[in-house]
Amino acid sequence: MTTELNQLPGTIPELLASRAATTPDRPFIIDGGVTLTYQQTQDQGNALAAWLLSQGCQPGDRVALWAPNCYQWIVAALGAQIMGATVVTLNTRYKGAEAADILQRSGSRFLFSVAEFLDVNYPAQLQSFPLPHLITTITMTVHSQSDQFSSVLEEGRGFLATEQGHDALLAAATHVREDTVSDILFTSGTTGLAKGVVTDHGQNLQAFTAFVDILGLEPSDRYLIINPFFHSFGYKAGWLATMIAGATAYPLAVFDVPTVMAQIETHRINVMPGPPTLFQSLLDHKDFDRKKISTLSKATTGAAVIPTQLIEDMWQKLGLETVITAYGLSETCGLVTMCRRGDDAHTIATTSGRSIPNIDVAIFDSQGNVLPAMEPGEIVVKGYNVMRSYFENPAATAETIDPQGWLHTGDIGFLDAAGNLHITDRLKDMYISGGFNCYPAEIEQQLCQHPSVAQAAVIGAPDTRMGEVGAAFLISKNPHPPGDQEIIGWCRGVMANYKVPREVFWVESLPLNATGKVLKTELRKQLNLFKG
């Protein structure tokens, strides 16, 4: 398998074409009642690419995706990449203002979304926001082959059948190279303003070829993708890794434990990555039956503190043969380190493993000096997986990637004698709730838009199920602040659910240092006092 992986093409469209040529009839995507072979996926991708060209889309243009996991998401992404466009992913938990901000600043010209999903009309949320770059929005229906997206494919096939369409696609596709930008994933930052992480085809394929090799993915694998496609975990470690392995992907639009168990049993799923909360929820469910998930054998997890007992339970109670933890961030294509098959439970639970091949990981002190093993400092990364830049943000790029090429992650940790990475803290105050990165500054800015909130400070509070949840410390503008549930309810209307604080504390003042910065360490002490 390793030899085959090392011979992979340099771009995502070339990879798809290679799979379609060598295993045309193998199922690539099974989504509800819809099955697409590798050949059918390539055909649909080409049709979508041709349609984009017919509508004036040019190589380098941005094509946005705002939808849950479904086969159309993959086809739309591949179609955009085939003709040299750049994929921009939007978090499905975004509210209209958050999505509009990404669309505006990315200059996205096309949007693929869902008209109705879980009682939410995604495009309707954008109607009150100016989107001068956006040409059109195409809607998709989950588990359907008779939606607007299907009509677009038909139009694309018609254009592709003409000499003009054929030549246009050929001309656009020949310009897609390893260093062509493949995607921009917007990641929230401590300034409260999301930054677009720019990566290219070659570096993503190289990183996730390593992922496939280390995890041991095979063409016969059946991969249930629960992690959302808008995130590198669901996109790059999900369907892209599946395509690299030549395996079969099963997208899951909505997570709930009974559905997951049914999918595993029905489709004989054997690969299922996810955050620790996924596996804990599976083990704790009242209808858990190991016999029904006996095919499950491989998993990767991370993005939170993991009890050693959970790793043991994943081996013993879930019957998994391979459990690997990993570490990455959008700025590194989503992957930096991985544990290896054969590591013990303690190593897997308490570390994020060793660097993937040809990637350097070091620990710096505050002066930029490399620290020895067991000494904590900032985690820095250098290698082919480091992003090209933040989109149209050279200042932020220069702050993150130093002149020597080291990417400063903002995470605190240390390397042990074996080279395993231990993450001990978040330099940038980020916390992780249910597998989602939460950036306090962003949430604080949104809280301060409430008419009763004068100041806000947010920290992550430990939570058994979610890992961490937000705790908001607020200063009121008036003597009679609103109730906690009123604030929480307001937050649910203006921000993604995972960002919504679960606890609210009204205070007279916030603890500040000499420069006026809120002391989050003091807030954590206050939280412990409030909780007794």
Superfamily holding 437-530 = ANL, C-terminal domain (3.30.300.30)
Paired tokens of 173: 């596709």
Domain 16-22+30-176, CATH class in plain words: alpha beta
The mean per-residue pLDDT over the stretch 420-446 comes to: 82
Distance, in Å, from the CA atom of 301 to the CA atom of 310, rounded to the nearest integer, reads 11
| Within this chain, domains 16-22+30-176 and 437-530 share the same CATH topology | no
Sheet with 86-89, side-by-side order of all strands: 136-140, 110-114, 62-66, 86-89, 181-187, 195-200, 389-390
Over its C-alpha atoms, the chain yields an Rg (Å, rounded) of 23
Which pLDDT does position 432 carry in this prediction? 87
pLDDT at 454 over 90: no
In sequence order, the β-bridge partners of residue 408 are 380
What is the DSSP track for 358-385? TEEEEEE-TTSPBP-TT--EEEEEEETT
Mean pLDDT of the chain: 92
The mean per-residue pLDDT over the stretch 198-217 comes to: 98
Q: What confidence tier does 464 reach under pLDDT thresholds 50, 70, 90?
A: confident
Boundaries of every domain in the chain? 16-22+30-176, 437-530
Distance, in Å, from the CA atom of 498 to the CA atom of 479, rounded to the nearest integer, reads 30
The reported pTM is: 0.86
CB 265 within 8 A of CB 292: yes
Which pLDDT does position 1 carry in this prediction? 41
**DSSP label of 271:** B
CB-count burial class (<10 Å; 0-12, 13-18, 19+) for 342: exposed
Please indicate whether residue 427 or residue 514 has the higher confidence score (pLDDT). Answer: 427
Distance, in Å, from the CA atom of 280 to the CA atom of 435, rounded to the nearest integer, reads 13
CB 208 within 8 A of CB 217: no
Distance, in Å, from the CA atom of 77 to the CA atom of 72, rounded to the nearest integer, reads 8
Paired tokens of 3: 């030899």
Task: Enumerate helices (H) and strands (E) in the chain, giving the number of each.
Answer: 18, 24
